[in-house]
Amino acid sequence: MRIGKKIRDRARLIVRYVESLVGVDEVHFERWDRALDRLVSMRFVRASRSVSLNRTIPLDEKVAFFKKLLSGSGEPLPENMGSFLELLIREDLWDLLPCMREEFRSDFFRRTGQEEVFIVSSEPFPQPEKSRLVQTLSGSLGGRKVQDHWTVDPRLIGGLVIRVGTHVWDGSLKGRLNQMRQELLE
């Protein structure tokens, strides 16, 4: 689906609205981020899309339906979620939700002076080593606070892959073997 500039601008306004509600409060940020993540995963569920697009269902019933779906996980809903859902449904911005969430996340980390770092290791890291690596990364990033996200991928064989924004540092054995293979092929 092709999305026009007018719709993208509305989506940005909605993101700014959510940012004004959150400010720099990490608890509110986490609550909104989890809710947006659940909405992103709902956008391809046929039942939820049909409710959203059905013109015979009043808007307030649609909002109640999605609030009930979101609160089914037991987590409290962010404040003003009803207003957000109204805009989302009325403007049919489901396809822009992933972009809206990404913009919301990156703006929050920028505003709070934090850096989001994704670390993939070949095996689980002990907590003291994680803390040392995060501290080292923080120093490398000019003392910014690091929001670290760890995952384990045994296919790396050994080492780490670290992604900060668009920068990737591949210190894995798999990455080094691939690099050696490329060099030998050349």
> CA angle, corner 66, sides to 107 and 29, nearest 5?
25
Return the pLDDT at 133: 92
Q: Quote the radius of gyration of the chain (alpha carbons, Å).
A: 20
Q: Which helix (H) or strand (E) holds 152?
A: strand 145-152
Q: pLDDT 10s digit of each residue in the chain, 186 long?
A: 556 788 788 888 889 999 999 999 999 999 999 999 999 998 888 888 899 989 999 999 999 999 998 988 788 899 899 999 999 999 888 989 999 999 999 899 989 989 889 999 989 989 999 999 999 999 988 888 898 999 999 988 888 999 988 889 888 888 888 888 888 888
Return the pLDDT at 3: 63
Return the pLDDT at 173: 84
Return the pLDDT at 150: 94
CA 93 from centroid of its chain's CA atoms: 17
Return the pLDDT at 92: 87
Give whole-number Cα distances, 38 to 5, 32, 92, 157, in Å: 25, 10, 17, 33
Return the pLDDT at 49: 86
What pTM was estimated for this model as a whole?
0.74
Which CATH architecture fits 114-185? 2-Layer Sandwich (3.30)
Ordered by start, the domain boundaries in the chain are 5-110, 114-185
Cα separation, 48 vs 112, whole angstroms: 34
Return the pLDDT at 127: 92
